[in-house]
Amino acid sequence: MLTVVLGLSGALVYGFADFLGGLASRRVRAVTVAAVAAAVGVLPLLAGLLLVGGVFATETVLWGAAAGMSGGVGVLLLYRALAIGPMSVLSPLTAVFAALVPVVVAVLRGTALSGLAVVALVVAVVAVVLVAAVRDTSGARVTTVGLVTAAVAGCGFGGIVLAYDMTPSDSGVVPLVVARVLQAVLLGTAAVVVARRAAPVRGPGGAADPGTSADVAGSAASGRIRVGGRWPARLVWTVVVCGVLDAAANVFIQAGLHSSDDPATLPVVSVLNALYPIGTVVLAGVVLRERLTAVQWTGIVLAFGASVGLALA
């Protein structure tokens, strides 16, 4: 029961963080938001390290680094996938792979699941697809590259859960700190590279070359903060809270993975973690007054049923 509660809590907090990150990404590049949020998330984890302690063993640090690398690559590939294909297809695909990869690994390790657990896990995966299904109006086409990129991104997110599961039970928040620092470095580097590529080229007289500043002009037209512009206080707080919630979600996931010695804990937590779109769509409905579709409501109901099934399994 505790494992299910922690897994669902992590998913909801992840969803809240993604919602805030999505809001901020309407004003600033998504990779920049992700980089800043990752850096902010280091601070509460360091505070947690001071309060509860942890063991900086070699195994702990290595698995923490693996989680950070896997998460950083997953985020970058997800942004790439959504940039070249329809979100309504690729976003659920990413979530499904994030859920299934740890399940497959657990089964290959010899984990035996009860019939009720298997049914609940399948229902939860279906719920992920339904909740994450959002109408896409961009006109983007599904391509092989987009599908593969989204699938690999999902594997990256699943890798985070696998890496945290491999950390010793006495490691505390050490692997979370290591992962978050590495992820902040990776995303920060990517944000700098993207910013430099998008920066307008200056002509001999110092004026921007109109032919190379389309990104900046487009950002201004859409209400985005221009490159080098100061962020409004509301935007800053949005990204800060996003970073703190994202770090908290990792704490829930880590705690859930080590809440029981049952081998089935890994697949249960991984699938529940993939239900994070629920938190996002709920906040979108409350804050932005976005209406949930019948398909999404069906997914939420199935997710609740799956959670009950996993708690009873």
pLDDT in tens, 61-98: 999 999 999 999 988 888 888 778 777 677 788 888 88
Q: pLDDT of 18-27, one tens digit each?
A: 888 888 888 8
Q: How far is CA 269 from each of CA 3, 106, 182, 187, 256, rounded to the nearest angstrom? A: 7, 11, 23, 26, 7
Residues 230-248 have a mean pLDDT of 92
Provide the sign of the torsion angle of the four alpha carbons 232, 44, 252, 273, taken in this order. positive
Q: Could you tell me the pTM of the whole model? A: 0.81
* Count of helices and strands (H, E) across the chain: 12, 0
**Closest listed residue to residue 271, CA positions, set 85, 42, 8, 35:** 8
- For 137-193, how does the pLDDT look when each residue is reduced to its tens digit (9 = 90+)? 656 677 888 889 989 999 999 999 999 999 988 888 899 999 999 999 999 999 999
DSSP string covering 253-277: HHHHHTS---TTHHHHHHHHHTTTH
Given a cut of 60, whether residue 214 has pLDDT beyond it is no
32, pLDDT greater than 70:
yes
Give the CA-trace dihedral at 164, 167, 168, 169, to 10 degrees. 0
